[in-house]
Structure 1
């Protein structure tokens, strides 16, 4: 029997989902798992940055065509040298499938002993996965890994027994001690408050919805505490806005830049809209903030209400909660003792419930 294992991911480390759902664990698993990266980092980045109609036509065409041709090549490799286990991150063939790839997918997936299908968003709701592939994986995946109970409940009842919940977490912060992180932030806390928004460009509209609240917070913090407010936007596209009462620092996302901004910042933000898609999101950014000992301010939507303990390690914003975005930020900016306690609580919550090592052990069990 073959001992070979392969993992199909959208791209390499430039894809946060590929990296933090799958790739970051591979070096720590004894059995070698070959990464099948369906797009190059170069095309993944450029298609994500495309903004004009012409740019989107050009880069999207190259991106999706590369995925199709790489998929053909990889599937043929898996026919010639069959793996024992295939891990599929999100979808093999997003948006559409070449006819011959349909045939290859059916052959390889039905023949492979173990199929693990992992996804961290409602990719059916967003139309990222085709109905053909969705049905194929629902029928043939031995284990389906999702980020939370809301996403699990959206899957058919007859496959619930095969569904496992595994939050997305960030292994970068394991080496950073929470006490050191908090003490480092104390040096800048009395002069400035640094907010962090860490996401991909598709989430920029959520951030834009709270701009007026950030303006209000910046005005209050400067007037009452003589502190400047900065928003670090770590994303594959910039936030095109010039703040009146706060400064915007656009930082292009990379694993390294995200890590640095998490160390440097004081408060993490995660605004969402109340839509079907957002209610099923995995809340990864909140767990990144927790890993970095950052109190967070988040919309009281979906899994956010499970990850943020209001008034304990951050604040939730919604109709059943007392704070607005601006008041929550001001509460975290006006008192170092309160801030440092909430920071410690955030990291403790991550260590106890959502740590990298917890997830790594779960992957080892699934791959036995």
Structure 2
């Protein structure tokens, strides 16, 4: 049995933990691989970050000690899999020296921009090139989209495009006829990406003047949209699939910037897996995931209005796009397709060490 120490930055509440690491545990065991996941910043930290509670200093300190202890016991694992960052604010040379086994570096966001701007930008002189060095030192790299993969390839030729995927045995479309009479647009995400919804306020309001429309927002703060019934709901792992199935169309607006280009279009994959047609900004991985037969692109307010009208007025087209999207996810963005790829990569790293 191969033992892999999975070093997640965030706890199970974070989609990156669940979909980049945790969902592979059971499947990898069938390949003779024991993936043991340890996170640094737990769910209490994420609740604090999104505005609920106080910073869990004791829990973070305890998790840091636990991480250091696991890293020092190198005889207990064969390789490591580092997701995003081993320790925030720690220079690359220290991180690489702490990982005393070959490691796979995995990322699904433009983390390499973290120390380039904003509050973290003050650390740029020391940490601006941190991720270049961590990537260069990896035995292999798994990148969540083409933009991230192209970045990593500059520093490590053993870079693999490894999209974020869903378990299509769990994400299932609902039988036809379960949608309500009111045209329903839906979005799922987190408080950090909810501000992107401001792009839709104008277009949704225009559609709302023409006919009744409902806008469901899951996991983030919903904007006020004139003429539209807005429903804001908390995210829950046990209800998200049923809620996505209540959408007539799923949306993913994005700004045109380097952070957005690093996004992995995971919302779209979730919608499409449930047989829901999509509309999205043509930014980053959105353009790779969506094809003409399963969704529409919109760059301007006028295009958003036009695409929403098309979806509203043509239920048959929505159904056809939903079916095509489901097939695309099954073929390219499912756990069944990714699992053997990861198992083979892990074995290759172990064989080469």
TM-score band w.r.t. shorter chain: 0.7 to 0.9
1:75 matched to 2:68? The reply is yes
- Following superposition, the deviation at residue 265 of structure 1 comes to 1.6
- Following superposition, the deviation at residue 292 of structure 1 comes to 1.0
1:202 maps to which residue? Answer: 192
In 2, the alpha carbon distance for the partners of 1:274 and 1:287 equals 20
Q: State which of 310, 314, 319 in structure 2 corresponds to 1:331.
A: 310
1:224-283, CA deviations, whole angstroms, 9 ceiling, x for partnerless residues? Answer: xxxx31111111x42242x33211111112322322211222211000111121122211
In 2, the alpha carbon distance for the partners of 1:269 and 1:299 equals 9
1:5 maps to which residue? Answer: 4
1:304 maps to which residue? Answer: 286
1:229 maps to which residue? Answer: 213
2:38 maps to which residue? Answer: 36
SS at match of 1:201: coil
In 2, the alpha carbon distance for the partners of 1:209 and 1:216 equals 13
Quickly say closer, same or farther: Cα 1:266–1:335, change in 2 above 3 A: same
Q: State which of 87, 93, 112 in structure 2 corresponds to 1:93.
A: 87
Q: How many residues are paired up?
A: 334
1:283 matched to 2:265? The reply is yes
Residues 198 and 223, structure 2, Cα contact 8 Å, conserved in 1: no
Return 5+ residue gaps in structure 2 as ranges.
Answer: 348-353
In 2, the alpha carbon distance for the partners of 1:107 and 1:275 equals 33
SS at match of 2:131: helix
In 1, the alpha carbon distance for the partners of 2:252 and 2:330 equals 20
Q: State which of 250, 254, 277 in structure 2 corresponds to 1:268.
A: 250
- Following superposition, the deviation at residue 14 of structure 1 comes to 0.8
In 2, the alpha carbon distance for the partners of 1:353 and 1:3 equals 27
SS at match of 2:37: strand
Residues 291 and 350, structure 1, Cα contact 8 Å, conserved in 2: yes
**TM-score for the superposition, normalised by structure 1:** 0.83
1:212 matched to 2:182? The reply is no
2:295 maps to which residue? Answer: 314
- Following superposition, the deviation at residue 70 of structure 1 comes to 1.8
Quickly say closer, same or farther: Cα 1:42–1:198, change in 2 above 3 A: same
- Following superposition, the deviation at residue 298 of structure 1 comes to 0.3
Return 5+ residue gaps in structure 1 as ranges.
Answer: 223-227
2:163 maps to which residue? Answer: 167
The root-mean-square deviation of aligned C-alpha atoms, in Å, is: 2.5
1:225 maps to which residue? Answer: none
SS at match of 1:324: helix
- Following superposition, the deviation at residue 90 of structure 1 comes to 1.0
